[in-house]
């Protein structure tokens, strides 16, 4: 029997994240939940994903973020074959930015 790599999900934690109302609340929650190293790693991965999504090449991403080629490759796999979370976030951030530009 093949062992599942799927972790046990804590639905309440995800609901807690969804209850946050602004950037400050999110930042405070993550600072309580994660170590500084974990937060920095997530911020780096997000920046890598953003740059990959914009079409940047590995060398440029390594220079801008300090990420290793292994991290960039891992993030790229998530962008290409993952659950679609990055795409959802990027689409929503773009829509929010576009809506803000239309109002100005």
Q: What is residue 5's predicted lDDT score, i.e. its pLDDT?
A: 56
With tokens 């914009």, the residue in question is: 54
The reply to whether 3 falls in a domain is no
CATH number at residue 19: 1.10.1270.10
Distance, in Å, from the CA atom of 37 to the CA atom of 35, rounded to the nearest integer, reads 5
pLDDT band for 102, please (50, 70, 90 cuts): low
**Structural domain harbouring 83:** 11-103
- Whether residue 12 is predicted with pLDDT greater than 80 in this model: the reply is yes
Average pLDDT in the chain: 92
Which tens digits make up the pLDDT trace of 25-35? 999 999 999 99
**71 domain residue, yes or no:** yes
In a domain, 26, yes or no: yes
Residue 41 within a domain: yes
Give the pLDDT confidence score for residue 9 in this predicted structure. 76
Residue 79 has pLDDT above 80, yes or no: yes
The values of phi and psi at residue 88, to 5°, are: -60, -50
The domain tally of the chain equals 1
| Half-sphere exposure in the Cβ direction for 82 (13 Å, CA) | 13
Residue 38 has pLDDT above 90, yes or no: yes
Q: Using a pLDDT cut of 70, give the percent of the chain over it.
A: 89
Rounded-to-integer distance, Cα 76 and Cα 61, Å: 12
Is the confidence at residue 99, as pLDDT, over 60?
yes
Q: What is the mean pLDDT of residues 41-50?
A: 98
Q: What count of residues does the chain have?
A: 104
């Amino acid at each position: 029997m093949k062992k599942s790599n799927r972790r046990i999900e804590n639905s309440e934690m995800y609901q807690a994240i969804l209850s946050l109302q602004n950037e400050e609340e999110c930042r405070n929650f993550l600072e309580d939940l994660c170590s500084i190293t974990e937060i920095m790693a997530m911020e780096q991965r997000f920046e890598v994903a953003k740059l990959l999504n914009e079409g940047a090449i590995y060398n440029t991403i390594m220079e801008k973020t300090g990420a290793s080629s292994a991290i960039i490759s891992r993030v790229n796999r998530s962008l290409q074959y993952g659950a679609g979370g990055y795409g959802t976030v990027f689409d929503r951030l773009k829509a929010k930015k576009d809506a803000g530009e239309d109002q100005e």
